[in-house]
Structure formats: C-alpha cells, structure tokens
Chains A and B, each alone.
Chain A
Amino acid sequence: MVPIFIQAFSLLLQPGSLLAMAVGLVVGLVVGVVPGIGGPFALALLMPLAYNMDPLFGVVMLVTLVSVVGNGGSVSAILIGVPGTPTNVATIIDGYQLTIKGEAGRALSACLVASAIGGIFGAVVLITIMPVMRSLILSFGHPEQFMLALLGISFIAILGEGSMIKAAVAAALGFVVALTGYDPISGVPRYDLGLVYLYDGIKILPLTLGLFALPELMELYRERENAPPRTFSLSEVLQGIRDVFAHLFLVLRCSVLGTIIGMIPGLGGDTAVFLAYAHAKQTSQYPERFGHGEIAGVIAPETANNAKEGGALIPTLGFGIPGSVVMAILISAFIVLGLQPGPIMMQKQPELIMVIALLTGITNVVGSFICLIAAKGLVKLANLRAKVLVPWIILLIVIGSYVPNKSFADVIVTTFFGFLGLFMKTFSYPRVVLLLVVVLGKTLELNFWMGLQYFGPAMFLRPVVILFMTLIMGTFWFELYRTKRRRASST
C-alpha cells in the first residue's frame, strides 16, 4: 500500500498533473458558481480537451473538476439563494437565511470547511474500503434503498416545525409531482394532462429554483431595508470553523452517510444531502431553528455532498458501475482515455486508483481554500442594493432553468413553482418536504416494485428494513410525545 501511495503522490507532483489540476479547479469552481450548469455539463465540456491529453493528466483534470464543482455551487447557494448545482439545494434552506441575518462569512466558511472534511473522509474511505467493498454494496438491496428513502422523508416531515398535517399534504403534493411522467414499470405516462412536456416528468432544477429562489427574492426587497450588511471578516471565518468543530460528531456522521449513499448506485447526491439535512434536524436539540438559519443545516448537507464523491467512486472504479450521472460520464471519459474502470484497473493500475483517491481529498481542501479567498469579493457583490441585485438574480434563475434543456417550458415551470413556493411559505407549508419527496419519489416507487418482485411481502421482514421501520415509528411517537409535553408546559 505504501509504495503505491508514494508512486501516486509522485505522479501527482508532475508539472503536467499540477497544470491539469489547476484547469480542473478553475473550470469546476466557475461552473459550480454559475447556476444551472453543474458537473455533468462541465465534464462533457472538458472531455474533448482530455481526449488529446496523456491519460494520467486527463484523469487528474476530470476528477479534480468532479471533486470541486460542489464547492463553487455552495457559494452561490449561500450568498444569493440560487444553487450552483442541484446537490447544493439543501444548503440554501439555512445557508441563505444565515446570509440574510448578516452571517454570510460564517455560513460560507463553515460550509467550505465541512465540505473539505467530507471530501477528505470520502477519499480516506475510498482508499481503505477497496478490499471489502463488494460485500458492502451488495448488502444494500432494493428493500433497504426503499426504506432509506422513506426514512429521510419521514424525518423531515415529522420533525419539521408546524403542523404535521401540512407536512403530509406537502409530501402528497410532492408525490404527485414526482410521479408525473412515464411510469418506470409499465411505461405509461401519468398526470401528464395531455402535455408532451410532462411525459418526462418535472425536472428538479426548475422546480427547486421556483420553490426556493423566487419567494426569497420577494423577501429580498423587504429585508434589505433593515438587514445587516453581508460581511466577511476574519472573525466570522473563524466562527464558521469553530462551528464545524463544535459539530464535529455531526460532520463525521454525515461523512459516513454521504459516503455510503454515494456508494449505492442510483441513490444520487440529492438523496445524500437531504438525508444528511434530515439527520441533522432529527438529532439537533433545536429542530425548530432549521429553516431559519441554523448552522448545522449548512454543515450537514455540505459534508455529505463532498463525502459522497469518494463513495461514488468506489463502485465506479471497483466494478465499473457508476454511482451517479456524473460518474457515468466520468466512466465514459475514462474509456475515451483508454482506461477501463473495474476489477482489471484495480489489479493492473492500482497507482491510478490511488491518484484518484488522493485527488478527491486534496482538491477538496484546495477548492475550499480558493473559495474562501474569493468569497470576500463575492460577499461584496451580495451587498448590492436589492433594486440592482434582484434583476441580476432573475437573469441567473432564468438562465439556470433554461440552459440544461434549452427549454422555455422549464422557465415557466420555475415561475409556476415560484407562485406555489410563495403560497407555501406564506401559509407555513414545508417546502423542503415537497422538494425531498420529488427528489426521492421515483426512487421510492422503483425500489418498492423491485423489492416486491424479488422478495415479495418478505421485503419488509429483512433486518435493515425492520430497523428503518422501527426508527420511523420511533420518531413519530417521539414527536407526538414532544408535542404533548410542549402543550402541557405552555398551559
């Protein structure tokens, strides 16, 4: 192991590798900051460039890009409330609220340090788990994936502040949105209302931009008059770092969560960040603070977001099975470079696997550091007058929802969900529950059917499934008990 480590490190220190790393860093961060683009697009963009490179340098550039794109995305999510990449969606919920409170610097530094720790954790797991990963991945079947998704939704819905009935209504609406489009089992379109656009379902990014970014814009006019200026002092940065270390156990748990979810093909980054958010809220002493600028609500999803990359690389490199869309593109890029991820690569080119693992950790730290340096200037941008800032954010929202599919229909969907988000916010329906269900809805249904096909009703008797069901029931009863006690103490 040690000679491979040294060999990989020396490969990384070559001038060509350093240059490729710099290109990947710059492109990854810029693409991350600009809403609506994200990792898959950036990878596709750099693939032709990598094709003409030495395979090592190409791998270095592409893996660096994948590792840091989330860091850039978190900057725009926190500062202007528009997620740079879809996996930064959960960061907006509390990150942008902290910015409104005048604690942008604290939120950013906590987010970036947590991201770096998550990234390093994912890399360490990637290095150490290789020999035993096969049995781990295979132990998580469809019933377990179904229950894991259900667990995430239940935690958010049950533990959210306000009415549980409203949370249930929001979840049901989320299911209707999630199930719109072709049914994965029968191939029949559902809830399409005769519109061809809805055959493919409602895309996550336009929906998220509408639900979260547009209602916040309206607040922006009002809060700017009395809001403290967005600051970014050294003391705030240090406070953010202290926050991360004060929540170190949460960071470790979310790193584990992110890495495990990253490992499971098909669950995806959205699941990782929302489950981490739900977990942070569930275990917090102050769950009512979530959604109003709780620092743990920034730390948890960002840790999981970066940890999942290391996890997703495990099935990608170990079996050639991509853990996510980004990994699927990465595999195709590797093949273009003449490399074949899988058991043969692990046997014949272990130093390359080590290079990738090291990169995942190193670039996360470097990316976070660069973002912290650049953040001071970006915070100044966020201090612009609302009258000037709002049209710029609208432009970014329109571009963010238009670019992925080049469709004005997506922009109209964003506007529709903007209205819905405003109503939900005004009348206290939890928007995050709706979003989480939309993200996990199809996964839930697919795994439900696959679980039933493979195991029949016995899918609910598997040990991990029973454990998850017990956790859901326990959380429900705990919340009922807590509400009863609160009422008793208030009277």
Chain B
Amino acid sequence: MIKFRISIALFFFFVLLGALYLSFFFPREAKVFPLLVLIPSVPLAALNIYSEGRNSKSARGDVFPSSFLLVFCGVLLFILCGWLLGITAGLPFALFLYLKILSRETWKTAIVSTFLGWIVLYFGFEVILRQSFEKGILWSFFFLE
C-alpha cells in the first residue's frame, strides 16, 4: 500500500504528461490555454512524485475502507441490472440483490425495499415526472422491441 501512494502520483503525472503531449497537436487557438496550464503543471506533478516518495518512507501504510469492494460491487450490480433489465425493473431488482446477498438482510426488508424502489421509479419518475426510461437490453433481446 505504501507503493500505492507513489503509483497514484505517477498516474497523475502521466495523465498530465499525456494531456500536454496531445495539446501540441491542437490548432493554435485550442492549444494555447492547455499549454499555459500544463507546462508548469507537469514539473509540479514530477515534484509531487518525489514528495510522495519521501513521505511514504515515514508512512505506515495507506488502508482503504474495508467497504471498498462492497460499494463498488454494488454500483456495478446496479449498472448491470439497469442495463440488462431497464431502469424501472432493473434498479429495484439490484436493490433486492444487494439487500439479500451483500447486506444479508431479512426477506421482509428486501422485499419491502424493492417494492418501495419500484414505486419511486415507476410512479415518481415515469408517471409523475413523465420520464420514459429505455427498456433493458434483455427486454429488447427476448421481445424483439
């Protein structure tokens, strides 16, 4: 994890370096402002790597929250379900899966939350706010819509 601190500083350095490199190929009007910003920024990012390297010698290790995986799995689950089943059906389903599998909640909590989620999405967004969400990819695949 100590190395991670330097990796992040390196990542930022390369992002800025890449942006600086790309800026040289823009037309004159488009490149002046990026160059004005990035030419002094790249050396600063390099200095940041040095500074992080020095700091990490005294650091005991940077620990991510233990919930890191849980939350990102949750987000991916919501994206996947929304994409496959559509927003109105997919997100409440993802809510159910999250509560039942990741949070290990009771059936009652999971079902009630799922139903509430569907009410919010269907009545709140589709009926009252007149939002028309796309159907999920599976819906189109099976029902050829």
Query: Which residues does A use to contact B, with CB under 8 Å?
Result: 34, 37, 41, 45, 163, 165-166, 168-169, 171-173, 175-176, 179, 183, 185-186, 188, 190-191, 214, 217-222, 387-388, 390-392, 394-395, 397-399, 402-403, 406, 408, 411-412, 414-415, 418-419, 422-423, 426-427, 429, 444-445, 448-449
Pair A394/B33 contact, Cβ less than 8 Å: no
Pair B105/A388 contact, Cβ less than 8 Å: yes
A173-B12, A176-B16, A395-B117 in contact; A37/B129 too (CB < 8 A)? yes
A191-B22, A399-B87, A415-B75 in contact; A165/B44 too (CB < 8 A)? yes
Name B41's contact: one of A168, A191, A390 (CB within 8 Å).
A168
- The answer to whether B53 has its CB under 8 Å from any CB of chain A is no
Rounded to whole Å, the gap between the CB of B90 and the closest CB of chain A is 10
A172-B38, A399-B121 in contact; A165/B15 too (CB < 8 A)? no
Name A403's contact: one of B26, B98, B99, B131 (CB within 8 Å).
B131
Chain B residues in 8 Å Cβ range of A394? 71, 74-75, 78, 98
* Bound: A182/B22 CA distance, A: 14
Pair B103/A387 contact, Cβ less than 8 Å: yes
Pair A214/B83 contact, Cβ less than 8 Å: no
Closest 10 CB pairs of A and B: A172-B41, A221-B67, A387-B103, A391-B98, A183-B30, A218-B65, A186-B29, A185-B29, A186-B30, A176-B19
Closest to A182 in B: B30
Chain B residues in 8 Å Cβ range of A163? 48, 51
A169-B44, A415-B75, A448-B33 in contact; A402/B65 too (CB < 8 A)? no
Pair A188/B30 contact, Cβ less than 8 Å: yes
Chain B residues in 8 Å Cβ range of A34? 124
Pair A221/B70 contact, Cβ less than 8 Å: yes
Q: Which of B53-78 contact A (CB under 8 A)?
A: 62, 64-68, 70-72, 74-76, 78
Rounded to whole Å, the gap between the CB of A403 and the closest CB of chain B is 7
A37-B129, A183-B30 in contact; A415/B76 too (CB < 8 A)? yes
A37-B129, A183-B26, A391-B98 in contact; A214/B71 too (CB < 8 A)? yes
Name A165's contact: one of B28, B48, B117 (CB within 8 Å).
B48
Rounded to whole Å, the gap between the CB of A42 and the closest CB of chain B is 9
Closest to B78 in A: A398
Chain A residues in 8 Å Cβ range of B72? 415, 418-419
* Bound: A166/B9 CA distance, A: 9
Contacts A169-B16, A391-B74, A394-B75 supplied; 7 other A-B pairs, CB < 8 Å: A179-B34, A183-B26, A185-B30, A388-B109, A391-B99, A418-B72, A426-B62
Rounded to whole Å, the gap between the CB of B22 and the closest CB of chain A is 6
Give 1 or 0 for each of B9-29: 1 = CB within 8 Å of chain A CB.
Answer: 100100110010011001111
Chain A residues in 8 Å Cβ range of B9? 169, 427
* Bound: A34/B129 CA distance, A: 11
Pair A172/B95 contact, Cβ less than 8 Å: no
Closest to A221 in B: B67
Pair B68/A218 contact, Cβ less than 8 Å: yes
Rounded to whole Å, the gap between the CB of B79 and the closest CB of chain A is 5
- The answer to whether B85 has its CB under 8 Å from any CB of chain A is no
CB<8 Å pairs between A and B, sample of 6: A166-B48, A175-B41, A179-B33, A398-B91, A403-B131, A415-B72
Pair A418/B75 contact, Cβ less than 8 Å: yes
* Bound: A398/B19 CA distance, A: 29
Rounded to whole Å, the gap between the CB of B61 and the closest CB of chain A is 11
Closest to B134 in A: A406
Chain B residues in 8 Å Cβ range of A218? 64-65, 67-68, 71
* Bound: A186/B25 CA distance, A: 13
